[in-house]
Amino acid sequence: MDFFDRFAVPHPSLAIYASMAAIGLTIIAVIAGLTYFKKWGYLWREWLTTVDHKRIGIMYLLSALLMLFRGGVDAIMMRAQLAVPENTLLDAQHYNEIFTTHGIVMILFMAMPFIMFFMNFVVPLQIGARDVAFPRLNALSFWLFFMGAMLFNISFVVGGSPDAGWTSYFPLAGTEFSESVGNNYYMIAIQIAGIGTLMTGINFITTILKMRAPGMTLMKMPMFTWSALIANVIIVFAFPVLAVLLAMGTLDRQFGTHFFTMDNGGMDMLWANIFWVWGHPEVYILILPAFGIYSEVISTFARRNLYGYKSMVGSMVIISLLSFLVWAHHFFTMGQGAFTNSIFSITTMAIAVPTGVKIFNWLLTLRKGKIVFTTPMLYSMLFIPLFTLGGVTGVMLAMSAADYQYHNTMFLVAHFHNVIIPGVVYAMLAGLHYYWPKMFGFMLNEKIGKWTAWLLSIGFILAFMPMYVSGLDGQARRMYTYSEAAGFGLMNMISFVGAAIMAIGFVLIVYNIYYSTRYESRDISNDPWDARTLEWSTHTPVPEYNFAILPDVRSNEALWDAKKNGHVLFKGEYQKIHMPNNSGIPFIMSCIFFVWGFSFVFSLWIPVILTTIGIFVCMALRSFEQDHGRYISVKEIEETETNLRGA
Amino acid sequence: MHKKGINVALFSVFLTIITLLAGCEPLLVLDPKGPQAERQASDILLSIGVMSVIVLVVFALLVYMLVKYRASKQRADYEPPHIEGNLWVEVVMVGIPVIIVAFLSYVSVQSNYIVEAKPKGYEDKEPLVVYASSSNWKWHFSYPEEGIETVNYLYIPTDRPLEFKLYSYGPITSFWIPQLGGQKYAMGDHVTTLHLAADVPGEFMGRNANFSGKGFAENTFNVTAMSQEDFDDWVKEVKETAKPITEKKFEELLEPGHLGQQTYTGTHLEFSPAPAGHDHSEESSETPETETQTESHTGHEGMSH
Ligand code: HEM
Ligand SMILES: [Cu+2]
Ligand SMILES: [Cu+2]
């Protein structure tokens, strides 16, 4: 039985067979479509081998939207299961797999790539650079992330999904209690994606520090770039921790070590400690760039400079430091004693201060402004009250003695969705609507956009406020069902209705993209929002080299300065521009990584060895390669520029 | 005094709202039946009060800004000014949150020491020690003093402090009786201590709050609080009627799965003692001073175990 049984799903159900069929059909359809329309060459040349940060950004965006729907379907299934007591829609095992994969997919394969999309697409444009510091590494980062995500997603149909929660606490996640390969997928898939993320971190720190346009000192960087810089610094400190943690988990599960086992000297809470040393900073990796997006959007549509630029930067720096000092608030109830809990309680609450500073800065940015309610602005204005609510419940959770009552309950689930949805997801949607014209040369429909924002918010309130109540009423998180007598029925039903409304909201986003692609005007300027920062100073669509002449920057709102004070951004003659060549190696190497990961999950050591060699061969090839990129001639630039200006 | 009045008023408003939302029955956590849960409930209400003020201030400011400064209300040629910031505004912006956080930290630290110590009002009483261990997906309660053991239910006297010694035969679990007090982890490699007490007789819900696999949702137990006399009667009755727990029987009980409520004489501690390790349980029930207890708890910091 052994060999083939391991590839089978341990608890197959109709949903799994349906997904198998769907995945199979999609793959066939994609292959057939590409062949029929003769698009293989196009796909390869323009996308799979691209090293252009804008295209890589767009690929991150596509992956993130795809995963948003995967995670969203999980969410709606969970809410449907809990809508009434003693429901039998899902069984315990299935529910456990769903909340586990929902959490991982949403955090690591949806929110992270969304942030990566913004960093890739916006940062180089915003700092007036032509590319990132290491374009090829950037492509490799994306493809590693992508392969990690795909590997994680096939767990649903091959071998079994992880089921020990997104936190994957040992010993539950060890082989003793989780026999299927599900948690191997967790370890390996996240490891592969995480390596990609770490490389992105290094890449963007270098980019931001080294490639700013002339005149752009650190304190003249736009706020989003600042937030990206700090998030990347956190990545560089936090992700190695994750890599080590996952490696230790892999050793325990597949090589019989005893880091986290119950006996032989294993320490179960060691996993929790290391996990949260990475896990808490991780949430700031998501929220800081979101804050950056809000800063851009709010000052653009308040038609005013951002209030308190320096304190905005300062508060982010402080948040990034504190984010590493609070991890134990995730297990106040571990029995570490009153003294330790007090320390972590205080450091956690301290984060509320710099966060509060940011909220007040945004509010004061509105003051004396001339506020225009566009869709991105609407998201930002819904963000402020909703996120404040999530923030204050965070402070409540930080009071450790009280947390003994909140811990592991729906109150906690309500809290973190309350910060992550208005905080991160709304920022992503605000940014999506904001940057869409720069990416694709047309606007998303404003009316549908506003409808979506309101629907999502109403759905959000209905879906998550009841959880605060049911949490205080004793409903633990991660329960696949509850008895009638428990009395949680009403709250969970309201939650389900809210989740359904949110689902409609998310479908509307897709509809908006479809509708706008067909009907919105292509006749928009380079700067349709009358914005303030450099990314809006170049053409739409953005030429490959971003800026024909590097801008001359005088303030953190370079474009606004140019518009209001008549400062000339682009001075001088065209010169030939050096650009990197496309390369197939990042993609091919990541494909090999995928096979490596898959073989590792199933402990197929011969393929593991072969693919390991393959990976090293790719690296060796690269080191012998004599690729110095290419030049775009002045003539070519002139042609492109006249074309773009004409359009 | 005046401020206190406002606070109390605020709390009662929120309590009513929350109660109404919950279909007129008080929420478990806000319906405490013991001193520890009471302290936690009052912290929760206090923080809800303080936090509501913050939320209201932010809401009000936002609405004010949005109403006053929207473009449609302004002259077409109005140009918003460039304002960098203002030292005093920023001092206030930092100062007020610092004061709030300092206040809440003060309360929180005090509460930490309170919930970790013998319950208030029970300091001079000898605690009842119960070893509560979890296995997939059951709770085993050993009463060493009484020499009896139960599965999935707990009888406790009302007029005594309770000292739970928690550990696990499987994944990490969390022992939680919301109406008596917040939870604490039960782990495989050492024992944690949770101090509770019940002020009044009654039936309470208890459960494992930490996800532990397939049978987690049903990983619950019933708690019945009664007078010391009733408790003594129950113990006597158990001793007369129940079968002894044997090593073999206990091994059987540890098999993964669900069981109903069961009762035994003797405890499994005799042949399957609680994990020793770097434990918190060295100071046992005999140590009345809370000082030594909190000290040895602090030793258990971070990764040290
Ligand atoms: C869009 C609507 C969403 C709904 C209705 C929803 C619903 C849920 C539900 C019902 C749970 C499990 C509760 C439990 O049984 O313990 C859950 C867990 C979780 N959700 Fe969401 N969610 C949504 C969006 C998101 C987003 C956007 C993120 C992150 C970016 C996210 C991250 C998580 C995480 C990390 C968990 C914890 C998983 C675990 O316990 O291991 N969710 N969500
Ligand atoms: Cu945290
Ligand atoms: Cu411990």
Tokens of A302: 């308040």
Query: Which residues of chain B are within 8 Å of residue A388 when distances are taken between CB atoms?
Result: 54-55, 58-59
Q: What average pLDDT score do residues A565-571 get?
A: 87
**What pLDDT was estimated at residue B2?**
46
Please name which ligand lies nearest the alpha carbon of A333: 3
Q: How far is the CA of A271 from the centre of ligand 3 (A)?
A: 11
A630 forms bridges with which residues in the sheet? A579
Count of alpha carbons within 13 Å of A33, Cβ hemisphere only? Answer: 7
| Residue A285 CB–ligand 1 contact under 6 Å | no
In angstroms, the Cα distances linking A414 to A417, A419, A453, A506 are: 5, 9, 20, 20
Which stretch of DSSP H or E encloses residue B208?
A: strand B202-208
Question: What's the pLDDT at B174?
Answer: 97
How does DSSP classify residue A332?
Answer: G
Identify which of A457, A115, A415 has the alpha carbon closest to the alpha carbon of residue A290: A115
Q: Which residues on A lie below 8 Å from B97 (Cβ)?
A: 352-353, 356-357
Predicted confidence band at A431 (pLDDT cuts at 50, 70, 90)?
very high
Residue A77 is encoded by which pair of tokens? 């299934």
Average pLDDT score over residue span A588-603: 96
Two structure tokens written together for B134? 């979890």
What confidence category does residue B287 fall into, taking pLDDT thresholds of 50, 70 and 90? very low
Q: What pLDDT was estimated at residue A494?
A: 97
- As given in the structure block, the two tokens for residue A260 are 């986290």
pLDDT at B22: 52
Backbone torsions φ then ψ of B282, nearest 5 degrees:
-60, -50
Amino acid B281: pLDDT: 41
Q: How confident is the model over A212-269, as pLDDT tens digits? A: 999 999 999 999 999 999 999 999 999 999 999 999 999 999 999 999 988 788 888 9
Digit-coded pLDDT (tens) for B57-95: 999 999 999 999 999 888 888 989 999 988 999 999 999
Q: Which ranges constitute the DSSP H helices of A217-258?
A: 223-255
- Mean pLDDT, all residues of chain B: 86
Which atom of ligand 1 lies nearest, measured to the CA of A100? 41
**For A353, which of B94, B112, B184 is closest by C-beta distance?**
B94
Contact A395 B43 (CB under 8 A): no
Report pLDDT digits (tens) over A596-627.
999 999 999 999 999 999 999 999 988 888 87
To test the contact with chain B by mutation, choose from A358, A373, A405, A490 the residue with the greatest count of B C-beta atoms within 10 A, namely A405
Mean pLDDT on A556-560: 91
What is the average pLDDT across A382-386?
97
CB contact under 8 Å between A392 and B97, yes or no, is no
- Residues A268-306 have pLDDT tens digits of 899 999 999 999 999 999 999 999 999 999 999 999 999
Predicted pLDDT of residue A599:
96
Is there an atom of ligand 1 within 6 Å of A477 CB? yes
Give B81's DSSP letter: P
pLDDT for position B14:
58
Contacts of residue A469 in chain B, CB cutoff 8 Å? 18, 21-22, 27
Nearest to A234, CA basis, from A207, A188, A206, A202: A202
Sign of the C-alpha dihedral computed for residues B68, B71, B76 and B81 taken in this order: positive
At residue A629, φ and ψ (nearest 5 deg) are 75, -165
Q: Which two tokens stand for residue B5?
A: 């009045």
Closest CA relative to residue B260, chosen from B152, B114, B140, B126 = B152
**Type of residue at B172:** I
- Closest CB from B29, B97, B216 relative to A479: B216
Render pLDDT for A74-95 as a digit per residue (tens, 0 to 9): 999 999 999 999 999 999 999 9
User: Given pLDDT bands bounded at 50, 70 and 90, which one contains residue A646?
Assistant: low
What is the tens place of the pLDDT at every residue in A126-135? 999 999 999 9
Cα of A167 vs its chain's centroid, Å: 17
pLDDT at B212 over 90: yes
Residue A468 has pLDDT above 50, yes or no: yes
Q: What pLDDT sits at residue B85?
A: 86
The answer to whether the CB of A494 is under 6 A from ligand 1 is: no
Could you tell me the two tokens for A155?
A: 């767990």
Q: What mean pLDDT is predicted for residues A400-417?
A: 96
**What's the confidence (pLDDT) of residue B4?**
47
Task: Tell me the CB-side half-sphere exposure of residue A127, using CA atoms within 13 A.
Answer: 31
The pLDDT score that the predictor gives to residue A8 is 81
Task: For chain A, give the percent of residues with pLDDT over 90.
Answer: 83
| A565-589: average pLDDT | 91
Ligand nearest to the CA of B301: 3
Which residue blocks in A83-134 are alpha helix, DSSP H?
Answer: 92-104, 112-126
Cα separation values, A271 from A167, A246, A248, A258, Å: 9, 10, 9, 12
Neighboring chain A residues of B112 at a CB cutoff of 8 Å: 338-339, 341-342, 345, 400-401
Report residue B122's pLDDT band, with 50, 70 and 90 as the boundaries: very high
* Per-residue pLDDT tens digits for A533-550: 999 999 988 999 999 999
Q: What is the pLDDT of residue A362?
A: 97
pLDDT on residue B11:
54
Nearest residue to A226 (alpha-carbon basis) of A287, A288, A294, A303: A288
Q: Does A395 touch chain B (CB under 8 A)?
A: yes
Predicted pLDDT at B235: 96
Of A325-339, A348-362, B273-287, the one with minimum mean pLDDT is B273-287
Each as own residue / partner, the long-range contacts of residues A353-357 (CB below 8 Å, 24 or more positions apart, any chain) are: A353/B94, A353/B97, A353/B98, A353/B101, A354/A314, A354/A315, A354/A316, A354/A318, A354/A319, A354/A322, A355/A315, A355/A319, A355/A391, A356/A391, A356/B93, A356/B97, A357/A308, A357/A311, A357/A312, A357/A315, A357/B90, A357/B93, A357/B94, A357/B97
pLDDT at A629: 87
Q: What mean pLDDT is predicted for residues B8-23?
A: 56
| CA–CA dist B64, B57 (Å, integer) | 10
Structure-model confidence comparison of residues A193 and B294, the more confident one: A193
Distance of alpha carbon B181 from alpha carbon B34, whole angstroms: 7
Q: Are A122 and A535 in contact, with CB atoms under 8 Å apart?
A: yes
What does the pLDDT look like over B126-166, one tens digit per residue?
999 999 999 999 999 999 999 999 999 999 999 899 999 99
Q: Whose CA is nearest to atom 23 of ligand 1?
A: A75
Q: What spacing in Å lies between the alpha carbon of A187 and ligand 3's midpoint?
A: 24
The reply to whether ligand 1 has any atom less than 6 angstroms from the CB of A420 is yes
Tell me the residue type at B232.
Answer: D
The average pLDDT across A552-573 equals 89
Phi, psi dihedral angles at B149 (to 5 degrees): -145, 140
pTM: 0.92
Between A511 and A39, the higher pLDDT residue: A511
**Please, are residues B241 and B148 in contact by the beta-carbon 8 Å criterion?**
no
What is the rounded CA–CA span in Å between residue A198 and residue A201?
5
Three-class secondary structure of residue B178 per DSSP: coil
Calculate the dihedral angle through the C-alpha atoms of A202, A271, A60, A617, rounding to the nearest 10 degrees: 60
Sign of CA dihedral B62, B67, B68, B73: positive
pLDDT of residue A495: 97
Residue pair B171/B207 in contact (Cβ under 8 Å)? The answer is no
How much is the mean pLDDT over chain A?
Answer: 94
Band of residue B20 on the pLDDT scale cut at 50, 70, 90: low
One-letter-per-residue 3-state SS of B217-274: HHCEEEEEEECHHHHHHHHHHHHHHCEECCHHHHHHHHCCCCCCCEEEECCHHHCCCC
Contact B136, B170 (CB under 8 A): yes
Atom of ligand 1 nearest to the CA of A110: 30
CA pair distance A559, A305, nearest whole angstrom: 12
Contact between residue B100 and residue B50 where contact means Cβ atoms under 8 Å apart: yes
Supply the Cα-derived Rg of chain A in whole angstroms: 25
